[in-house]
Amino acid sequence: MALATVKLPPTPDESPEVFVDPPKIITTPCDPWPRPYHLEDGLRKVLPYHFTYNTYCKQRWRGREILDIFATEFRDRPQEYYKDAIECGRVVINGQKVSSTHAIVKNGDVISHTLHRHEPPVTAQPIGIVHEDNDMIVINKPAGVPVHPAGRYNYNSIVEIMRAERGHGWNPLPCNRLDRLTSGIMFVGKHAKAAEKLTNQIMARTVKKEYVARVIGNFPDGDLICDQPVMQISPKLGLNRARASGKDAKTIFRRLAYYPPVTATNGAQPNGLDNRSERERERDSKMEWKAKKGYSIVRCLPLTGRTHQIRVHLQFLGHPISNDPIYCNQRVFGPSLAAGDALSDDDEDIISRLSKMGKSEAAEAMAYHDEMMEEYNKRKAEKMTGELCAVCDTPLYSDPGPQELGIYLHARRYACQDGNWDYQTPLPVWALPPPGMDGPADSTTETDPMALVDEVGELKLDTTKPNPNEYTEPSRPLWVMPG
């Protein structure tokens, strides 16, 4: 007797599967080619253009109102702009205008934002070519240019500038990332296989890196290791600090040169007379950094790759990069510039003060805090002008000043641990001896710190996660600041 299979009708509590269309993606109205660059006053500028951002709902956005997401996650424009953009349909969810600014964002949603985009200018300095073959381009990245399109930057990025120079269809593949304000060695793959190979080398920590920085004061002589963990305090502002509960981080430092000031930092003249006014003496007494005379050129070897690691470690050691608008900013960190501070609980105050930089006042480093320089840089630094764009009513920024196009931090050398390749650049101009002073103008065998990793030996990193309920004494650098 043969058996037959009979398909039963669906039970009342079952319903047929319904196909759901994928979320609609809004596309950029135009993709201008050639790119709308123009060079002016040493800057590469981009003419404003319309552009659409698309992003899937992030996990932390689920169940939140659309206006709340834009107001808290994005710093580019004021909340009033985002409210108007949502109500007018420039911000949509899954291609559809939302009913109100209180619309809830769900998992799987695509948020699209079409706007009249204003990119900040960057330096017009060309991207230097250190080495090029069939697989890889080694470049000398100019300071102030971001690697990838992000935030307010799109066409003014290393990726898009190189694409504009080599053809619309060319796809540059960066293998390492430098902060926007940092200059120096970068690797750009010509095809995916080459990019993946070098990226894996860097991830495996088989590539030695050497940076050079210019810091305030007389940096200690000899080899110095800082192993303070680094924690991200504000993703929105890109702020990191030395924190005992942060991620493992280790940097070796070696002073290359120290250059004392021509006149004393405290305002005294070479004859010993102090010509400062009472107001100036009172002002200087509140600035601990004023006692740090001159500046040092320091070699930096990061053994880990945390964001802002070198900048945070130099700040912790009391010798921040002298024109760093974040970590050498008295208006943000106070007179001590957070030297030796890994335990304070003032993060919210720091975030609040930093968020004001570049809006109502210029972001300025301590090197520019002197009274005469302060007024000059307030005029020259990038900040809101009070004017609005005639097309979109976006608040306009002034052009950035010279101090905002980069900081005194340069990725000078990358070398394969096995000796297969070694690329380096000359010392940047700001690291050369000042007029009338003697000092190293390039690397020498005696001052080359790349062998330090071998001399110190393999430095093991503790990968165990700390118990949040158990206090552990923070690690200390081998060299401890006096006092």
Q: Are 381 and 400 in contact (CB under 8 A)?
A: yes
Which residues on neighbouring strands pair with residue 424, listed in sequence order? 413
Residues 100 and 86: their CA atoms lie apart, in Å, by 7
179 tagged catalytic: yes
The Cα–Cα gap between 461 and 372 comes to 46
Give the SS3 label for residue 81.
helix
Going from the C-alpha of 170 to that of each of 102, 124, 204, 259, 386, the distances in angstroms are 42, 21, 28, 45, 39
Amino acid at 355: S
Residues paired with residue 185 on neighbouring β-strands, in sequence order: 140
Q: Which H or E element spans position 337? A: none
Whether the Cβ atoms of residue 337 and residue 367 lie closer than 8 Å to each other: no
Locate 210 and state its tokens. Answer: 């050497």
Task: Say which of 76, 84, 133, 179 is annotated catalytic.
Answer: 179
Q: 214 has which bridge partners?
A: 297
Asked if the peptide bond before residue 34 counts as cis, ω within 30 degrees of 0, the response is yes
C-alpha–C-alpha distance, residues 211 and 206, integer Å? 16
Cα–Cα distance for residue pair 409/103, rounded to 1 Å: 44
| 122, 402 contact by CB (below 8 A) | no
* 375 phi, psi to nearest 5 deg: -65, -40
| Residues annotated as part of the active site | 179
